[in-house]
Structure 1
Amino acid sequence: MSKVLVFLGVVVLGVAIITGGIHQVQEGHVGLYWVGGALSESTSDPGIHWMMPLITTFENVQVTLQTDTVTDIPCGTSGGSMIYFDKIEVVNRLDRRTAYKTVKLYGVNYDRTWIFDRIHHEINQFCSSHTLQEVYIDEFENLDEALATALQSSCDKFETGVSILAVRITKPRIPEAVRKNYESIETSKTEYLVREQQENVVRKEESIAKMQAIIEAEKEAEVAMIQAQKELTVSIINLEMEIAEKEAEKKKREIDDHIDLHHKRIQGDMQSYSIQKQAESNKHLYSEGFLRYSLYQAFAANTTLFFGDSLPQYFIDKNALF
């Protein structure tokens, strides 16, 4: 009976050891093992694995993207105002190749040291060197980038293997009186921006109307110019036609004058020729005998005979007669 009990005890112990050593490494994680409290360099990938129970323990260490959320962070500004950041989210990832070294140096909760605690430190450093106006308004848009840069610088300096991918920061809580004052300022600023936008709209409409008037005037001027150009073209054509007609008339007159001159020249030549021939005929016709004959005829025709006792005395110059 005692042997049976011993056997059963051994079987139960064996089953307990076997089942107790079975464990699962989650996807996106790496399995790290502690043997007798000492971290082993052996790691395991996602899946089912076995380890020696009681002696060996393990942890799932995430090596994919994870978001650490740090809440309720107090912040004292350089002017003495106390404000609070309700939530800052840090998206980060641990390099699988450095998981063993990081956990060995900073433990499984390495992000507590290099993210949660570091956020508090960096926020307080930032606030202590800036005024409330700068923290809440002026520099707030740059705070996430500055915080991410500072966290990454610290992680790289101490070789944590952690990559800071993004930082999201909510607007800090400020004293109620200050918040109302900022809201009043924002309201006034919004009203001013609305008025400015309305003025811009009015100016834009005026500018559009002015541009439309200019375009219309330019269009009318262009139409007038086209019409004037058309009229000018017609005038030039008419003038050219008139000039052509005048030149044609001038050329016709020149031709007519040339023909008339030619005719006159021919007539003159004919008359000259006729006179020349007449002169030649007269030269032969009016000879000295013919002239003497004509003289006698003229005397005969113009001589008056008087009969009586008292005749006038006529003296005739014989040389004059001949």
Structure 2
Amino acid sequence: MIPIITTYKPVQITLQTDEVKDVPCGTSGGVVIYFDRVEVVNYLAAESVHDIVKNYTADYDKTLIYNKIHHELNQFCSIHTLQEVYIELFDQIDEFLKRTLQADLILMAPGLYIQAVRVTKPKIPEAIRRNYEAMEAEKTKLLIAEQHQKLIEREAETERRRAIIEAEKLAEVSAIEWRAKLVAQEHERKISEVADATQLARSKALTDAEYYRAMKEAEASHLKLTPAYLELAKYQALAQNSKVYFTGDQGNLIMDLLNQMSSSLSRSNVSTKDQVTSSFV
């Protein structure tokens, strides 16, 4: 006998989005704020439909999602200040709700999975909102001023580095020019040393040659300076006088003088020949 079906409810087993609206939340400082909308993207596995519907009815999402969102948001707000909930930790609320819901569902309703959670910015009292807006405006001004200061600092740093690079470049060029001057001076010094050495050698050679010539002339003169040659030179010098005065027996004196000159000349020639011959031998 087939049972008669009187009522039924469809159960979605694909991705669906549940919206929880106007969730009140009290912060640790006592300020009550409202979240306009919390979206929970979830899906139910087909094999888990019977157990979950049997335990939580076809409206399982009311118990497992809607009510849990209210509870977990209030738990989060109660331990945080308005500043943290509204600004500092707001970007972490989505992940906190997803992680907390999924941890409870694993125990209470296996097969129901949370895909994502999206939370809108909460509503806060108007006076507080204006204060936050003014504070954000001041922060924006401060941020702009800081960015402007950083820009000026970066420009100054860039200019400083450019000046350092230019100074290093000039210093390097100066060092290269200085080394080039040193090399040129060293080259000129070596050239001067070579020239001085050449001049010294030339002067030494001339001095040696002059000394050798003088020595040879002295040797030749020494060979000439024999007693006979000196006697001859005396009479030759006497013979060159234009006037000669004699006293006494002039005839005998002249004859004696001529005889002595002739005898001296003969002896001088013989002595010179002997010396030349002996020098060749």
What TM-score, normalized by structure 2, do the two folds share? Answer: 0.68
Structure number with the higher strand fraction is: 1
CA distance in 2, matches of 1:108, 1:191: 51
- Match of residue 39, structure 2, among 86, 89, 99: 89
How has the CA–CA distance of structure 1 residues 216 and 81 changed in structure 2, closer, same or farther, with 3 Å as cutoff?
closer
Deviations 1:222-267 (A, max 9, x none): 5643553464355335424432431232122122123213313431
Residue type matched to 1:117 in 2? N
Over 3 Å counting, the alpha-carbon distance change for 1:83 and 1:217 in structure 2 is closer
The equivalences for 1:148-297 within 5 A come to 148-175=98-125, 179-198=126-145, 200-202=147-149, 204-205=151-152, 207-209=154-156, 211-212=158-159, 215-216=162-163, 218-219=165-166, 221-222=167-168, 224-225=170-171, 228-229=174-175, 231-233=177-179, 235-278=181-224, 282=226, 285=228
Indicate which of 137, 141, 146 corresponds to 2:87: 137
Q: Give the number of the structure with larger relative contact order, counting CA–CA contacts within 8 Å between residues 6 or more apart.
A: 2
| Offset, 1:182 | 3.1
Alpha carbons of structure 1 residues 247 and 276: separation in structure 2 relative to 1, 3 Å: same
Sort the Cα spacing of 1:116 and 1:198 in 2 relative to 1 into closer, same or farther, 3 A. same
Segments of 5+ residues of structure 1 without an aligned counterpart are 1-34, 37-53, 295-300, 306-322
Which residue does the alignment assign to 2:96? 146
Q: Distance in 2 between matches of 1:109 and 1:126?
A: 26
- The one-character-per-residue Cα deviations of 1:74-129 (angstroms, maximum 9, x if unpaired) are 22334443332221001112233433333333333222221111112212222333
**Could you tell me which residue of structure 2 aligns to residue 67 of structure 1?**
17
Q: Kindly indicate which of the two structures has a greater share of residues assigned to helix.
A: 2
* RMSD over equivalenced CA pairs, Å: 3.6
Residues 109 and 213 of structure 1: is their aligned pair in 2 closer, same or farther, counting only changes over 3 Å? same
TM-score (normalised: structure 1): 0.60
SS of 1:130 mapped into structure 2: coil
1: distance between equivalents of 2:183 and 2:80?
A: 84
Identity %: 34
Quick one: distance in 2 between partners of 1:133 and 1:235?
72
Quote the Cα distance in structure 2 between the aligned partners of 1:84 and 1:153: 25
- Size of the aligned set, in residue pairs, is 238
How big is each residue's C-alpha offset from its partner over 1:132-170, in whole Å with a ceiling of 9 and x where there is no partner?
343333332222211111101101122421221211111
Q: Supply the distance in 2 between the matched residues of 1:155 and 1:141 (Cα, whole angstroms).
A: 23
CA distance in 2, matches of 1:235, 1:153: 83
Q: Provide closer, same or farther for how the CA distance between residues 115 and 275 of structure 1 changes in structure 2, counting only shifts above 3 A.
A: same
